[in-house]
Amino acid sequence: MAETNDQAGSRRAQLNASTWVFLMLGVLTFGEYLVGAIAPPWGQALLLVAAFKAFFVIVYYMNVGRLFSDDEAH
């Protein structure tokens, strides 16, 4: 079954968003490492950043939003 242009564009947009989230998570992880190595008392800020990263992992990589959608496409 061939994909329509709309489906291909949607897949491309999802891949693009996932790539940007991957890069953002990498930058934030590196920043967390630097802050943890240089300023250990900033633990609360690191927990906040970790929660922010967890949100994006859940939304973009675990596809939790698809659990609540009405689409039946597989």
Nearest alpha-carbon partner for 53 in 34, 26, 19, 33: 26
- Nearest-angstrom CA–CA distance, 73 and 35: 43
Kindly write down the DSSP assignment for every residue of the chain, as one continuous string: -PPPHHHHHHHHHHHHHHHHHHHHHHHHHHHHHHHHHH-GGGHHHHHHHHHHHHHHHHHHTS-GGGGG------
pLDDT in tens, the chain (74 residues): 556 777 778 888 888 888 999 999 999 999 999 998 998 899 899 999 999 999 999 988 887 777 777 766 55
